[in-house]
Amino acid sequence: MGTATGFSCDKYQNIIFILSNSFQVLFPVILRNLTLVSLNFAMSVEV
């Protein structure tokens, strides 16, 4: 029983670790894309 819960805790820890790493990588990319989209939108509105 104890080993099973320990394994599941490790698995969840790994999942959280991977998610936080991918978030750190993806967040700047998403932010840049949103900035580009909003800039294009502003330009199209001005014209």
Helix, strand, coil abundance in the chain, percent, nearest 5: 95, 0, 5
What percentage of the chain reaches a pLDDT higher than 70?
81
- Alpha-carbon gap, residue 18 to 40, rounded angstroms: 33
Q: What whole-number distance in Å separates Cα of residue 25 and Cα of residue 46?
A: 33
Q: How confident is the model at residue 1 (pLDDT cuts 50, 70, 90)?
A: very low
Mean pLDDT over residues 10-32, rounded?
92
pLDDT at 43: 92
Average of per-residue pLDDT across 22-36: 94
Question: What are the residues whose beta carbons fall under 8 Å from the beta carbon of 6, sequence distance 6 or more?
Answer: none
Q: In this predicted model, which residue has the larger pLDDT, 25 or 7?
A: 25
Average pLDDT (8-26) is 89
* Residue 46, both tokens: 């001005």
